[in-house]
Each structure stands twice: as C-alpha cells, then as structure tokens.
C-alpha cells in the first residue's frame, strides 16, 4: 500500500510539473499527436522553426556563397510557419569534400530542434552527408549537387549513393551529358573528344555519362583520364591529349584545377584550334573574368528565368534579383542562387504542410516532411518543380553558353547557343 501511494504521489507530481510547463509555453495540455517512425520536432509557442544550410563556404565558395544568399533571401521572404519565425542559423561549411559533408551533417543532426537542411553545394560532400541525414530521418534539399550517383539512372533504377530523404532541384547530370553530346556532335561537328576529371563524384560521373552519350551518337573518346585535386601542372595530361589528336576537350573541373588547365591547354603544342568545353562548376564570375575563359563552351542550368514566379513567396525572378542586389550590393555570381532559393522554399512549404498545431505546440513529423516534398508540384524561379521517386526534382533543362568576352562575367548575360529540354 505504501509503494502504491508513492507511485500515486509521483504521478501527481509529474502531472503538476507538466501543467506548469504547459502554462509556461502557452499550451493547453497534453497532445494526442502520434509521432512517426522518423521522429518529430516539437516547437513551443514563441519558439522558431529551425532549419540549417550545409554549403561550400570553403572549397568552392563561388558555388556556396551565392547559394547561401539565395537561402537567406528565401527564409526572409517566407518569414514564418504557422505563426512561428523561421530561424536559419549560421551556414555549416561542407568544404566541398566528403570529410566536410560528413562532419557538417553530424553537427546538424546532433541538434534535435532542426527540422530540415538545404545542401549540399557539391556532390562530393553530398555522397558523405546524405546517409547521415537519411538515417537521422532528415530531409535535405540540394541546390547544386548534380552527380547521377546521388539519385538514379533516370530509368527507374537507384544509383549506389541514393538514400531516402535526399532531394535536389539541380538537374541530374545525365541531362547535361545528353545536352553536351548533342551540341558537340550535331552543332559543332566534333567527332573526337577527350575528357578529364579530378576523381570527384561530380566530375567522374559527368565525364563517364558524356562519354556514353557521345559514343552513342557515333563520336569517339580516345582518352578519358583524370588528375588529382590540387594539381596545377597539366603538362602530362595535355601531352597525352595532344597525341590522341582530338577536336574537342571536355573538362568539367572546379576553378582550382580548371583555370590552370584552360590557360595551359590554349598554348599547348598540338592542341591548337581544339574546342574547349566545360561544365557548371566553372560557370562562375571569378573564372569568366580571366582571359583563359574566353572561347570556352559551358553547360549549365538556365540563368534567365524570364520573370518566373515562386509559388511559395509570390516573388518573381526579377523581384528576387532586385532584392539580391539591394541586400548584397551585386548581381548573383552563379546561377545556383536561384536554385538555392527554390530549394529552401520547397523545404519550408513541406514543413508548413506537415506541421500540426495542437495544444499550443507545433508538431513537425520528419516523415511527413519527406512525404510533402515528394508530393510537391510547385512553380519556382527555375520553373516547374516536382520530384521523382529518387529525389530528382529539377526541370532537366540545360543551356550551352559560349563565352567570348572576359569583360562579361554575369552568367545571365552570356550568349546561349543551345537549349536542351528533355
């Protein structure tokens, strides 16, 4: 009897404490909300809804910095979810590397108040971050990770690095490979293209996909080789290329390796007149301002959004660019700022839809957030956004730009010589 009385007293004490806590946070009592298997974030009255960004603030800041700004503008424009402010916090640096992606993901999931993540900037970081977020039940929406390894072969089969909860508004690079091969073979008349990667999941998967697509059209890839990250003396690989006698070189490298490669290739004996083609990692203002960038063809996302309007915020592309300039004192230096804006609004609209308010508390079920992202059909600055079964949510559209004047560094003002629509 004494033991039973102690239990009763403990139960009453717990109820009293719960009542006091409910009064303090403005709730009206216990909730009947049932958390899902991936967990639930509870936001008390007066608290903010927490999201985070995991972007390349180092390693590839020309991608990470415009994306950070796009995320910030989207959070500012959305402002609240069910009356709660949205809090972004400081960006977590992925360093555009597997180590940075893994460490950043572990840092974010250690905070139980975080609902979802915008990131990463680079595929190398995403390969390591995606399994961490997936296991923790998080949704991550990426603005510029394009490697096919992260999603699927676009024919219904997942690739090795796909994990539940990973989504991206950037296009799968299988689209870029098709755009580039069609343009190079049919428009430029190229027949022998050599390719170069740096061992990164982005560059490796893209050159492999391009090689497959170009060969399918009847082209040849006599040399497909790689360099190491940080390598700047390109003499050995350029010598190998010159022996092969190509009419084109495809080198979708980042700026650290791509800039010296372009400079050395342009003056290398035996490669005179060879057409240089690169990808979106070099489609940034810092590289476009250099003399070695002139004459190069670039594949990348659309940069002229033709007044598209984001459904979630009601902002047009023109409005968002004006806000960007007013806030940061310059025009966007990379087209991925708009994809970051749309990725953020896709995540926040899913959180808004999944949130349940009861007893003065906001319950956000992680599994429901994923389900809302997967079911989303919305217009963004980049156009129509909807996700397939493996997290590809982008439009698939690609532009080929021809850069001829290093005084023009705004991607939106580069001549578009080919448009690809799947």
Q: What is the chain's length? A: 422
- CA dist 235 and 233 (Å) reads 6
Residue 33 within any structural domain of the chain: no
pLDDT at 23 over 90: no
Question: φ and ψ at 49, to 5 degrees?
Answer: -80, 125
Rounded Cα gap, residues 300 and 277, in angstroms? 11
Do 293 and 315 belong together in one domain?
Answer: no
Q: Are residues 117 and 163 in the same domain?
A: yes
- Residue 17 covered by a domain: no
Quick one: pLDDT at residue 12?
Answer: 34
Give the CA-trace dihedral at 203, 160, 420, 59, to 10 degrees. Answer: -30
The average pLDDT across 178-183 equals 98
Compute how many other C-beta atoms are within 10 angstroms of the C-beta atom of residue 410. Answer: 13
Q: What is the mean pLDDT of residues 313-321?
A: 96
User: Is residue 15 classed exposed, middle or buried when 0-12, 13-18 and 19+ CB atoms within 10 A define those classes?
Assistant: exposed
The pLDDT, as a whole number, for residue 28 is 53
Same domain, 146 and 242: no
What CATH number does the domain containing 311 carry?
Answer: 3.40.50.2300
| Interval 263-284 mean pLDDT | 96
Position 24 in a domain: no
Q: Per-residue pLDDT for 201 more than 70?
A: yes
pLDDT of residue 369: 98
CA angle, residues 179, 123, 263, in degrees to nearest 5: 65
- Say how far apart CA 362 and CA 325 lie, in whole Å: 35
pLDDT value of position 16: 38
Residue 78 covered by a domain: yes
Residue 351 sits in the same domain as residue 413: no
* Pair of tokens at residue 16: 């009293």
Rg from Cα positions in the chain: 24
- The span from the CA of 150 to the CA of 123, in Å, is 8
Residues 411 and 344 reside in one and the same domain: no
Query: Strands, DSSP E only, in 251-341?
Result: 275-278, 297-300
Which residues are registered as beta bridge partners of 275? 248
Confidence tier at 1 by pLDDT (50, 70, 90):
very low
Percent of the chain with pLDDT over 90: 89
How far apart are alpha carbons 411 and 207 in whole angstroms? 23
What is the distance between the alpha carbons of residues 117 and 54, in angstroms, rounded to a whole number? Answer: 7
Rounded average pLDDT over 98-123: 98
How many domains does the chain fold into?
A: 2
Task: Pick 338 or 28 by higher pLDDT.
Answer: 338
Q: What was the pLDDT predicted at 27?
A: 56
Output the six-digit token pair for 197. Answer: 């990667």
Residue 296 domain-assigned? yes
pLDDT for 34: 83
Residue 26 pLDDT grade (very low, low, confident, very high; cuts 50, 70, 90)? low
Same domain assignment for residues 231 and 312: no
- Poorest-pLDDT segment among 15-29, 306-320, 376-390: 15-29
Arithmetic mean of pLDDT, 195-216: 97
Q: What share of the chain has pLDDT > 70, as a percent?
A: 93
Cα–Cα dist 117/126, whole Å: 12
Q: Is 246 exposed, middle or buried (0-12, 13-18, 19+ CB in 10 A)?
A: buried
Confidence of residue 168 (pLDDT cuts 50, 70, 90): very high
How does pLDDT run across 351-383, given as a tens digit for each residue?
A: 999 999 999 999 999 999 999 999 999 999 999
Grouping H, G, I as helix, E, B as strand and the rest as coil, residue 195 is strand
- The answer to whether residue 256 is domain-embedded is yes
The β-bridge relationship of strands 398-402 and 297-300 is antiparallel
Q: Which residues are registered as beta bridge partners of 42?
A: 363
Mean pLDDT value across the chain: 93
Is residue 334 predicted with pLDDT exceeding 50?
A: yes
Amino acid 234: pLDDT: 98
Are 57 and 118 in a shared domain?
Answer: yes
Q: How far is CA 266 from CA 23, 144, 296, 314, in A?
A: 71, 29, 10, 46
Judgement on whether residues 226 and 274 belong to the same structural domain of the protein: yes
pLDDT at 103 over 70: yes
Query: Is the torsion defined by CA of 282, 283, 284, 289 positive or negative?
Result: positive
What was the pLDDT predicted at 304? 84
Euclidean distance between CA atoms 375 and 237, whole angstroms: 46
b/e per residue, 277-297, with b = 16+ CB within 10 A?
bbbbbbbbbebbeeebbbebb
On whether the CB atoms of residues 92 and 64 are closer than 8 A, the answer is no
Q: For residue 206, what are its two tokens?
A: 């893209």
Provide the CA 242 distance to its chain's centre, in angstroms: 35
What is d(CA 339, CA 211) in angstroms, rounded to the nearest whole number? 27
So what's the pLDDT on residue 29?
55
Residue 306's pLDDT is 76
- CA separation for the pair 415, 422 (Å, rounded): 21
**Residue 258 maps to a domain:** yes
Same domain, residue pair 315 and 410: no
pTM, full prediction:
0.91
**Could you report the per-residue pLDDT of 33-80, keeping only the tens digit for each?**
788 899 999 999 999 999 999 999 999 999 999 999 999 999 999 999
C-alpha to C-alpha distance for 94 and 70, rounded to whole angstroms: 17
Same domain, 193 and 271: yes
Same domain membership, residue 308 and residue 186: no
Give the pLDDT score at 191: 98
Whole-number pLDDT of residue 25: 52
Q: Which domain holds residue 357?
A: 40-171+304-391
Q: What is the pLDDT of residues 277-300, one digit of tens each?
A: 999 999 999 999 999 999 999 999
> 12 in a domain, yes or no?
no
The residue whose two tokens read 């990250």 is: 229
Whether residue 80 is found in the same domain as residue 138: yes
pLDDT of residue 32: 73
């Amino acid at each position: 009897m004494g033991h039973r009385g102690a239990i009763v007293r403990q139960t009453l004490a717990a109820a009293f404490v719960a009542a006091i806590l409910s009064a303090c946070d403005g709730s009206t009592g216990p909730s009947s909300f049932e958390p899902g298997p991936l967990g639930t974030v509870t936001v008390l009255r007066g608290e903010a809804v927490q999201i985070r960004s995991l972007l390349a603030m180092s390693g590839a800041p020309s991608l990470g910095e415009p994306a950070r700004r796009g995320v910030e503008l989207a959070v500012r424009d959305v402002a609240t979810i069910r009356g709660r402010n949205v809090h972004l916090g400081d960006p977590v640096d992925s360093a555009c590397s597997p180590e940075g992606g893994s460490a950043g993901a572990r840092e974010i999931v250690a905070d139980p108040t975080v609902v979802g993540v915008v990131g990463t900037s680079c595929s190398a970081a995403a390969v390591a971050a995606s399994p961490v977020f997936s296991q923790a039940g998080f949704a991550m929406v990426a603005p510029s990770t394009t490697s096919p390894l992260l999603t699927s072969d676009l024919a219904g089969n997942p690739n090795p690095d796909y994990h539940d909860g990973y989504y991206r508004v950037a296009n799968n690079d299988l689209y870029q490979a098709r755009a580039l091969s069609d343009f190079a073979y049919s428009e430029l008349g190229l027949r022998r293209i050599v390719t170069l990667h740096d061992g990164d999941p982005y560059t490796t998967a893209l050159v492999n996909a391009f090689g497959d697509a170009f060969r399918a059209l009847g082209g040849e890839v006599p040399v497909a080789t790689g360099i190491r990250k940080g390598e700047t003396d390109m003499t050995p690989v350029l010598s190998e290329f010159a022996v092969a006698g190509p009419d084109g070189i495809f080198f979708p490298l980042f700026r650290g390796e791509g800039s010296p490669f372009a400079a050395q290739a342009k003056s290398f004996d035996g490669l005179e007149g060879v057409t240089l083609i690169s990808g979106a990692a070099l489609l940034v203002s810092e590289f476009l301002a250099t003399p070695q960038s002139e004459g190069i063809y670039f594949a990348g996302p659309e940069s002229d959004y033709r007044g598209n309007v984001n459904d979630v915020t009601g902002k047009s592309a023109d409005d968002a660019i004006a806000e960007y300039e007013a806030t940061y004192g310059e025009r966007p230096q990379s087209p991925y700022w708009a994809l970051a804006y749309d990725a953020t609004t896709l995540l926040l609209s899913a959180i808004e839809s999944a949130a349940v308010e009861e007893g003065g508390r906001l319950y956000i079920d992680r599994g429901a957030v994923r389900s809302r992202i997967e079911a989303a059909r919305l217009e963004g600055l980049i156009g129509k956004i909807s996700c397939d079964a493996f997290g590809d949510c982008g439009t698939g559209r690609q532009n080929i730009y021809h850069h001829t004047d290093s005084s023009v560094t705004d991607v939106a003002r580069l001549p578009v010589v080919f448009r690809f629509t799947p």
